[in-house]
Amino acid sequence: MKYLNYFSLKKNLRLSDTKKISLNNPKKKVKFKVFFIVKDEIVFKNNNILFYETDNLTSNFLIKKELSLVARKEKEVYVSCDLSFERLRDAKIFYSIVFVNIRNALFSLDNNLAAIIASGYQLIQWKKNNIFCGKCGSKNIFFTSENTLICQKDDCKTRHFPRINPTVIMNITYKQKILLARNSNWKENLYSCLAGFCELNESAEEAVERETFEETGIRIKKINYVFSQSWPFQNNLMLGFEAEAKRPDLIVNKQEIEDARWFSYNELISFVNDKKLILPAKYSIARNLIYLWEKKMLKIPKFISWIRTKNFYFFRKKAKFFYRGFNIIIFWMTFYINIKLCGRKRSI
């Protein structure tokens, strides 16, 4: 589970005291490192993320409302800045820059830096999606020092905090096979675990059961929580589960997913090696759930695995036959012994 916390800020980076950080930094106690996000892209320069370093966030070309305090590492404070293409022309530091898709960029960074950039991106997306107050409809004002949105209407003043969306993702198995599915908008041959959002007044376990049945028609049992992961692209908190299918018969809901299939361990490895199957990125919780199942399969002796999959039904039928035969033999042996004993008593 090496990559599970890839997008999570570590304790030593978290900004729990943002109110205490002064943006104009009069005593120069900290250095601000600003990175820039334009829509769904991050600004690179010379093959690295462009960081604009300053002691004062209020005395340069930066606009206060565009900034979000993200993380702190000793005397360095990381700040995300949401810019438009037009604003990039205002400063010389933006000469010879390159725009890189945020998703591709995150997967190429080390753990700590990826978590910092992901947190900044999530804050920016949250601000864009909450321009107006959900209570009265007035415009919200962003407070950089607190990373909160506050309604500007005097008789409302509702405070809005960053939200996450609880989402379940599940590793469904049947005997020695795993269930993987794909959506129509994914790249060809990419398969992953089933997933879905938790609904109102629904527990995570109930969401696992409902989503599995809605998408594949599978009824499940033995639902167990495994681990979680922060996923920045939709502000999701992914809750990973594993469960067992009661029956293997699939009824794929084409309105929800494009395809769903059962894979044995050998099939999975073979298809991946032949490039007939693509698994999720190693940083995703889906890949970690699949990896966990692979480890379990490797621990099962081949003979036991063979019995449980292809020939389990055959052995079960044979076992019933031998059990009944054994009972019949015991019955006739008991009957024979009783007859013999009765015969001896009469002769005496």
Number of Cβ atoms within 10 Å of the Cβ of 268: 20
Euclidean distance between CA atoms 122 and 114, whole angstroms: 12
Q: What is the pLDDT of residues 263-315, one digit of tens each?
A: 999 999 999 998 899 999 888 899 999 999 998 888 765 544 444 444 444 44
pLDDT tens-place values along the chain, 348 residues long:
566 677 787 776 776 655 556 555 555 578 889 999 988 899 998 888 999 888 877 766 666 667 888 888 878 889 888 877 666 666 667 778 888 999 888 888 888 888 899 999 998 889 888 999 989 999 998 887 778 899 999 999 999 998 889 999 999 999 899 999 999 889 899 999 999 999 999 999 999 999 999 999 999 999 999 999 988 888 899 999 999 999 999 999 999 899 999 999 999 999 999 889 999 988 889 999 999 999 888 876 554 444 444 444 444 455 556 666 777 787 778 777 777 666 654 444
Q: Six-digit token pair at 45?
A: 């320069």
For the entire predicted model, the pTM comes to 0.76
Euclidean distance between CA atoms 8 and 240, whole angstroms: 16
* Residues 86 and 39 sit within 8 Å (Cβ to Cβ): no
Cα 138 versus chain centre, distance: 34
Q: Which residue has the tokens 């009957």?
A: 335
Domains, the chain, in order of start with CATH, read 15-129 (3.90.79), 165-299 (3.90.79.10)
